[in-house]
Amino acid sequence: MFLRSVLLSTVIGANLIAPAIAGECPADKMRTDATKPVTTAAKGVTDKVLSQIDLAGEKIALKGHLMRVRRLEVQPGGIVPWHSHEDRPALIYVVTGEIYEHASNCAVPILHKAGEVARETHATAHWWKNDGKAPVVLLSFDIQHDPNDHNM
């Protein structure tokens, strides 16, 4: 009885300490090329650069790279078109609302909710859609390399 209580307490405690991570592809749904690129254009999205730093002048001296923070607002039915982060890592903070990400490596759409952060690495290619009834506000923190890259 004592051992069973200890095991049960350990399992419950572990679940409280390390809950499932929200806003990520379920492990059993991860696949290479699960979602194919789409050609849907941007729709109902505004993208404003709030601030940026030229990293060439910083100690890390990354010539031709900008560290930026942008505010994106995606209207209901709005779409952030297909794009890759092969050369532009980013962290996306969901300020308000809920939005679906359709990632190349996930067989199901990934729901991102207010307060969550999405990680976008060199392996990320995706598009986003607001299926809700309210605008979604995102803060994008990225490292831009190509000044002609106008992807969101």
Average of pLDDT values for 116-140? Answer: 95
Alpha-carbon separation of residue 137 from 23, 85, 98 (angstroms):
16, 20, 9
What's this model's pTM, rounded to 2 decimal places? 0.80
**Is pLDDT of 5 > 70?**
no
| Cβ contacts of 151 within 8 Å, gap of 6 or more | 81, 83, 84, 88
Q: Domains plus CATH for the chain?
A: 23-144 (2.60.120.10)
pLDDT at 149 over 90: no
